[in-house]
Amino acid sequence: MRFLVGGYSADSGGIATGIGVLIAGEPESGSAGGPLALVGEAVSASSPSWVTWNERTDVAYATLEAEGTVQAFRRVGAERFAPLGDPVEAGEAVCHAAVSPDGSTLVATCWGDGRVVRYPLAADGRIGRPSFAPAAVDPAAPGAPTEAVSGVEAAAAEVGIDLAALGLGGRGDAGLFGGRGLDGVGGVDLFGGAGADAVGGVGGGALFGGAGGGALFGGAGGGALFGGVRGGGGVGGVDGTGDAGGDAEAAAFPGPGAERERVSRAHQTVFLSGGLVATSDLGFDLVRFWRLVDGKLRPLHDVVLPYGSGPRHMVWHPSGHLYVVTEYSCEVFVLAPDASGRWRLVSGTPLGAGTLPGDSAAELAASRDSGFLYAGVRGSNTIAVVAVRGAGETLSPVALVEAGVDWPRHHRVVRDTLLIAGERSDDVVSLTLDIRSGIPGRVRHRAPAPSPTCLTPFV
C-alpha cells in the first residue's frame, strides 16, 4: 500500500525536503502489514506538514506550514507528483486541510492565527480563491456571548448541576472561567484555577479542574468523574506544556505550570453529513460547527470544552458521535447533536493513568470496526487505547502501549495494522492490532523517514 508522507523541512527545524512516498507491503495491496520502505520523494515542497488526497482527481493538497500557504499537486506517475498551480494564501502556521466528500471544497485550518479558510476546487483539482471564515471568539474573554458555554451547560446538566441556581446564567460575580480573563475572585469557579477562593480553585469542588476536590473533568486528586490522573491545575491537571512538534509551538508554551496565552489556534476540519463541518480550535477550547452554504462556511454554533484542554483532532463515529482528543489535558470528549440538531458535550475520559506531566496528545483514529480509538501521546511516546461503549456515547481507557518512536505525531489504522510517524526519531513503524482486545503489539516493521508529520494513503 502506498502512503504520502508529510514532514518538516529546514524552515521548521526538520530534515524533510518534500512529500515522501512510503510503501507498506505490496504497493497495490489494500493491506499495510508488510515491510516498510521509503522509496523516494513524490515532489519537493517546503514543510508539507499535512497532506490530503482527492481520489476523484488524483490530486494531493499540502499545507506548507512555514510559508502559510496550501498547494495542489497532480499525480504524474505511480509515485510522482507535480505542482498544480501556485501556492495559495492560507494563514500563519497552516497545519491541516481536508477535502469535502464531493471533492468540491478544501478547508484549511491555521495554528498560528486561528484562520479557517475555504477554497473552491476546480474540476481538475486546482485550488481557487480563498474565503476566510469568521474568526473564533474566546469564550473566556470578558463580554463573550453567553450562548458560547453550551457545552459546559450540558456537562453540568449531566451531573445534575443547575447553573442558573448557582447564579451562573450571566457574567456577574460568578467567575465562570476561574478568573482567567473574567473576575473569578470570590465567585463560583466552574473551571477551577487558583484565582477563585469560593467553590473551586485549589482544594475546591470545581466542575472542570482544581488541584483537589470533586472535579468533574480533572483535578490532581479527589473525586474526578473523568480525570484526576495528572498533575495539578486545570483540566485533568494541564501542566502548561504541549508542544505539537514545531518550534513555534514549543516557544509558545514555556513549560510546566506556565499560563498559556489565549490565542485562537484552529487545528483540524472534519466533514460531517448534511453539509455540516466541524473545526477544532486548540487555543480557545472550542469545537466550531459550520454549514457550507453557497460556497461559504456559515457559522452555526460552538461547543466549549474544559478550559485549557486544547481540542486538537477529531473522529466522526458511525454512531453519529464526534470524538475529540485534547492536546493539553490528554483526554477524549464525546459530542453529539440533540433533538434540535445542536451539538452538545456528552461525556469524556482521560487517555489513561499512565500519561505523564508534559505529555501532549496528537492524532486520534478509530479501529476498523470503530470499537476502539487510538490516540498518540507525545512525551511518554505511547499510544492510548480507548474502548467505545454503549451506543457510542461512552468511552473507557483500555491501555497505554509503547509507540516505538520518538514523538508520535501522526498515525493511521489500516485493517489490523497501526502505522505511526515518529517526528523526532525520523522513522515510521507498523504495529499489529489485536482485533479482539484492540491493543497494539510490538513494532513489526520500521523504515527511516525524515521528520514525518503525516501519513496519507493513496491508490
Strand 382-389 and strand 394-402: pairing? antiparallel
> Rounded to an integer, what distance in angstroms lies between the CA atom of residue 38 and that of residue 347?
40
Give pLDDT, residue 376: 99
Give pLDDT, residue 146: 53
Q: What percentage of the chain's residues is helix, strand, coil (to nearest 5)?
A: 5, 40, 55
Give pLDDT, residue 166: 37
Q: Which residue, 104, 120, 3, 21, is CA-closest to 56? A: 104
Do the Cβ atoms of 384 and 375 come closer than 8 Å?
Answer: yes
> Rounded to an integer, what distance in angstroms lies between the CA atom of residue 377 and that of residue 105?
31
> Rounded to an integer, what distance in angstroms lies between the CA atom of residue 415 and that of residue 49?
25
Do the Cβ atoms of 226 and 331 come closer than 8 Å?
Answer: yes
Q: What's the DSSP call for residue 352?
A: -
Give pLDDT, residue 251: 42
* Other residues' Cβ atoms within 10 Å of the Cβ of residue 379: 19
Residue by residue, pLDDT tens for the chain (459 residues) are: 999 999 999 999 999 999 999 999 999 999 999 999 999 999 999 999 999 999 999 999 999 999 999 999 999 999 999 999 999 999 999 999 999 999 999 999 999 999 999 999 999 999 999 999 999 999 999 988 755 444 455 455 544 444 444 333 333 322 333 322 322 222 333 333 333 333 333 333 334 433 333 344 443 333 333 433 333 333 333 333 333 345 444 444 433 334 678 999 999 999 999 999 999 999 999 999 999 988 889 999 999 999 999 999 999 999 999 999 999 999 999 999 999 999 999 999 999 999 999 999 999 999 999 999 999 999 999 999 999 999 999 999 999 999 999 999 999 999 999 999 999 999 999 999 999 999 999 999 999 999 999 999 999
Give pLDDT, residue 200: 34
Give pLDDT, residue 185: 29
Q: DSSP letter string over 266-310?
A: EEEEEE-GGGEEEEEETTTTEEEEEEEETTEEEEEEEEEPSTT--
Which of 237-271 are b and which e, b meaning 16 or more Cβ less than 10 Å from the residue's Cβ?
bbbbbbbbbbebbeebbeeeeeebebebbbbbbbb
Longest pairwise C-alpha distance within the chain: 66
Give pLDDT, residue 184: 29
Phi and psi angles of residue 130, each rounded to the nearest 5 degrees, phi first: -70, 150
Burial (Cβ within 10 Å: 0-12, 13-18, ≥19) of residue 69: buried
